[in-house]
């Protein structure tokens, strides 16, 4: 089958040309700036310490800027033509993995809506299986998934009968489904919808008001249950549905989400054994039921499939405010960086919303069965799982009516035990990597190092929608977790600028270098926010005078950087407000979350603290939501993060006022213009922090 019949790839040549011209222009200006700083540092009459610190800051920022340029080198977009796929009988199987942990931070109803939307994917039901991993081991989650399965017997036929696209019940019955409901309006549809809506309300009541304990169990045996077993005499065709709660013991490592995914890989191998998998965060529901077919347009292309590991979709969110003050949409990643990486060897993967070839997790594209030479040593002592890797099936373990046998369930519990991975290659060379808490970026990076490629698809209708953070604390905790894990990999023996360079192209290695080293920008920003301001207060100039030709170099570098960012925002459908929010959150994250992330890494390196997983809170509180929708920052709970930020703001304010007083008295405004401008810029973008420092008015 020809490649063009299933998908196409468009290179943005005009955008690439503009980007490359800007790279050359900006790089030239940066070299001139660094030359000015070095030449004056060693041959000029300038304060050595302060100018050395400024040079370090500018060198770090230049290094990070250089690492971002491969994202702009060859941006591409892809289109798919699922109507040209072969018939349903020729489509491969897909296993859907959904991971949850704590019902208090991950609302159980959201998790069940994700399960229901996955079960309702527009894909042959006999080739689809859904696995819910409950890492909390709560009785509530097990009860809820059974109730969800019961409701699915009504929900799936309703979706199929009317061709419903919004197959997440909560989204369908909200304002998101208004247009679709109006387009289908008829007396029969109205009657069926009223019936299904009543069934959904009963389902919600059963889940939310069950009274079953929602506390996590940290010491428990493995539990694997078949919630729906695909019996042949079942009139309503539904995919397989499994509940998995792997064994956890306080004395045994469990490797967080990566460990849960590896357990699902093994269990699915002896249950459904599909060659492909879809991973979803528990709040990331399927918004377009055709996502699997769209992904197969890449995986079934013979010219691409041999080396293709995964197809990544963007993370998109249904709860974004028009004024997204926390930059939750991550526009820079999903509308710029991922398109740029797709023009190289493919995007990194984001931990959710991707269709992965399972084989990619077991070796490289050029070494087909390398690990099968010593299967027990590499994969563990499970003959059934090893048989599944060699192309075997579990038909001998399926009883006549399609019910999974007791023997295979017992084997699944063994595969979910916390000691099964001992003395194997799980988490090292096989499966999801344990080298970093951020298993998504780490595993994607290692896949690319092994020679695998990936593809990025940004469809018009979002295939997956989730819930983004809507308060400052959750946003910064999430960023701190990422920063700590990424810098750990960047400074390890598998650094992309050393290990990666010998296994990937230079440009692709630089992309990963940006992910792993961008947190070091906190050092540069702290120096830039402190040193010039102290110089302003004491009358020591850090920049050329306005009349000095070298001042133009600093002005060009700053203006060029701002214009490039603004161009990317506007060309990707953003606005000036989007640009301002991104710039402000970049500053806030660097001097708070990234700083604490680097400190967290150092503490773990010194053995002072242990590695721990910080689960992002996805429960929405009404007061936070109201503030977010009004464009007001919610600082409560983020006091620790705010300490360095507020100190910097106060320092800039005091130094700016004191410096301006000195400038007005001594008349040296020309010499201090650069520092005055820098201070005013920091204060401009920090106005929410300034506002939080003011005394609150009485109610």
Whether residue 135 is annotated as binding a ligand: the answer is yes
C-alpha 695/C-alpha 649 separation (Å) is 16
Give the position of tokens 């295979």: 408
Q: How far apart are the first and last CA of the chain?
A: 69
C-alpha 280/C-alpha 114 separation (Å) is 8
Give the position of tokens 């006999």: 126
Q: Do 389 and 375 form a contact (C-beta atoms < 8 A)?
A: yes
Whether residue 618 is annotated as binding a ligand: the answer is no
CA dihedral 116, 117, 119, 123 (to 10 degrees): 170
Backbone angles phi, psi at 530, to 5 degrees: -115, -55
Spatial CA neighbour of 141 closest among 227, 65, 75, 82: 227
Q: For this structure, is 135 an active site residue? A: yes
* 426 secondary structure, DSSP code: B
C-alpha 33/C-alpha 674 separation (Å) is 14
Cβ burial 177-198 (10 Å sphere, 16+ → b, else e): beeebeeeeeeeeeebbeebee
At 419, list the tokens: 């000691």
C-alpha 596/C-alpha 535 separation (Å) is 26
At 616, list the tokens: 């992002």
Backbone angles phi, psi at 305, to 5 degrees: -70, -30
**Furthest-apart CA atoms within the chain: distance in Å:** 94
C-alpha 691/C-alpha 696 separation (Å) is 9
- Going edge to edge, which strands form the sheet with 240-245? 223-228, 240-245, 128-134, 94-100, 276-281, 354-357, 308-312, 453-456
Whether residue 106 is annotated as binding a ligand: the answer is yes
Alpha helices, DSSP H only, in 272-333?
291-299, 331-332
Give the position of tokens 């004395």: 251
At 240, list the tokens: 């397989």
Q: Do 436 and 488 form a contact (C-beta atoms < 8 A)?
A: yes
With 0-12 / 13-18 / 19 or more C-beta atoms within 10 angstroms meaning exposed / middle / buried, residue 229 is middle
Q: Do 268 and 87 form a contact (C-beta atoms < 8 A)?
A: no
C-alpha 157/C-alpha 152 separation (Å) is 8
SS3 518: helix
At 652, list the tokens: 């800039």
Residue of 95, 102, 122, 135 marked active site: 135
- The Cβ of residue 370 has, within 10 Å, a number of other Cβ atoms equal to 13
Give the position of tokens 């078949």: 226
Q: For this structure, is 186 an active site residue? A: no
* 76 secondary structure, DSSP code: E
SS (H, E, C) 84-137: HCCCHHHCCCEEEEEEECCCCCCCHHHHHHHHHHHHCCCCCHHHEEEEEEECCC
Whether residue 102 is annotated as binding a ligand: the answer is no
C-alpha 66/C-alpha 510 separation (Å) is 8
CA dihedral 202, 203, 209, 212 (to 10 degrees): 140
Residue of 440, 454, 509, 519 marked active site: 440
Q: Which residues are annotated as a binding site?
A: 105-106, 135, 257, 281
Which residues does the annotation mark as catalytic? 135, 440
Q: Which residues are annotated as a binding site for Mn(2+)?
A: 257, 281
Binding residues for UDP-alpha-D-glucose: 105-106, 135
């Amino acid at each position: 089958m020809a490649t063009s019949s299933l998908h196409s790839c468009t290179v943005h040549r005009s955008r690439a040309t503009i980007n490359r011209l800007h790279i050359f222009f900006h790089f030239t200006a940066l070299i001139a700036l660094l030359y000015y700083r070095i030449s004056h540092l060693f041959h000029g009459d300038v304060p050595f310490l302060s100018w050395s610190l400024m040079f370090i800051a500018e060198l770090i920022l230049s290094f990070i800027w250089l690492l971002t340029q491969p994202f702009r080198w060859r941006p591409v977009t892809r289109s798919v033509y699922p109507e040209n796929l072969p018939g349903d009988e020729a489509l491969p199987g897909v296993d859907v993995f959904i991971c949850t942990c704590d019902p208090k931070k991950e609302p159980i109803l959201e998790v069940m809506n994700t399960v229901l939307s996955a079960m309702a994917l527009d894909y042959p039901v006999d080739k689809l299986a859904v696995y819910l991993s409950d890492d909390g081991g709560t009785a509530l989650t097990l009860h809820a998934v059974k109730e969800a399965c019961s409701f699915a017997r009504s929900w799936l036929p309703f979706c199929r009968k009317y061709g419903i696209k919004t197959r997440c019940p909560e989204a369908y019955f909200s304002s998101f489904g208004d247009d679709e409901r109006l387009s289908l309006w008829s007396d029969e549809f109205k009657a069926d919808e009223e019936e299904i809506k009543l069934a959904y309300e009963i389902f919600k009541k059963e889940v939310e008001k069950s009274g079953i304990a929602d506390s996590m169990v940290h010491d428990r045996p493995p539990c694997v249950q078949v919630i729906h077993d695909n019996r042949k005499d079942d009139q309503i065709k539904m995919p397989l549905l499994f509940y998995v709660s792997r064994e956890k013991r306080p004395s045994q490592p469990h490797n967080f989400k990566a460990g849960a995914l590896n357990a699902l890989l093994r269990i699915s191998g002896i249950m459904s054994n599909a060659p492909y998998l879809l991973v979803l965060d528990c709040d990331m529901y399927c918004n377009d039921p055709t996502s699997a077919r769209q992904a197969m347009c890449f995986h079934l292309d013979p010219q691409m499939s041999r080396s293709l590991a995964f197809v990544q979709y963007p993370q998109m969110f249904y709860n974004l405010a028009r004024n997204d003050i926390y930059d939750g949409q991550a526009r820079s990643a999903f509308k710029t960086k991922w398109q740029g990486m797709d023009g190289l060897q493919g995007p990194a993967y984001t931990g959710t919303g991707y269709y992965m070839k399972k084989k990619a997790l077991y070796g490289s594209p050029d070494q087909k069965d390398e690990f099968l030479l010593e299967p027990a040593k590499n994969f563990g002592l499970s003959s059934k799982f090893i048989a599944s890797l060699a192309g075997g099936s579990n038909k001998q373990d399926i009883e006549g009516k399609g019910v999974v046998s007791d023997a295979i369930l017992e084997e699944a519990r063994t595969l979910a035990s916390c000691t099964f991975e001992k003395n194997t290659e799980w988490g090292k060379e096989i499966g999801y990597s344990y080298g970093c808490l951020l298993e998504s970026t780490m595993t994607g990076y290692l896949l690319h190092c092994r020679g695998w490629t990936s593809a990025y698809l940004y469809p018009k209708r979002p295939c997956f929608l989730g819930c983004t953070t809507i308060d400052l604390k959750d946003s910064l905790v999430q960023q701190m977790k990422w920063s700590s894990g990424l810098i750990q990999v960047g400074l390890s023996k598998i650094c992309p600028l050393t290990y990666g360079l010998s296994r990937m192209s230079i440009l692709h290695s630089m992309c990963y270098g940006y992910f792993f080293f961008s947190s070091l920008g906190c050092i540069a920003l702290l120096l830039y926010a402190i040193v010039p301001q102290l110089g302003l207060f004491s009358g020591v100039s850090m920049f050329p005078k306005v009349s000095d030709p070298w001042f133009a170099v600093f002005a060009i570098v700053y203006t060029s950087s701002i214009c490039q960012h603004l161009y990317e925002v506007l060309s990707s459908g953003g606005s000036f407000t989007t640009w301002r929010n991104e710039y402000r959150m970049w500053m806030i994250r660097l001097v708070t979350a990234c700083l604490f992330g680097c400190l967290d890494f150092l503490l773990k390196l010194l053995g002072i603290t242990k590695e721990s997983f910080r689960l992002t809170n996805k429960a929405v509180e009404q007061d936070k939501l109201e503030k977010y929708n009004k464009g007001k920052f919610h600082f409560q709970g983020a006091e620790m993060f705010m300490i360095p930020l507020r100190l910097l703001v106060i320092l800039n304010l005091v130094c700016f006022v004191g410096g301006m007083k000195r400038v007005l008295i001594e008349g040296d405004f020309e010499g201090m213009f650069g520092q005055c401008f820098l201070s005013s810029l920091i204060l401009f973008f920090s106005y929410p922090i300034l506002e939080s420092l003011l005394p609150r008015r009485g109610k």
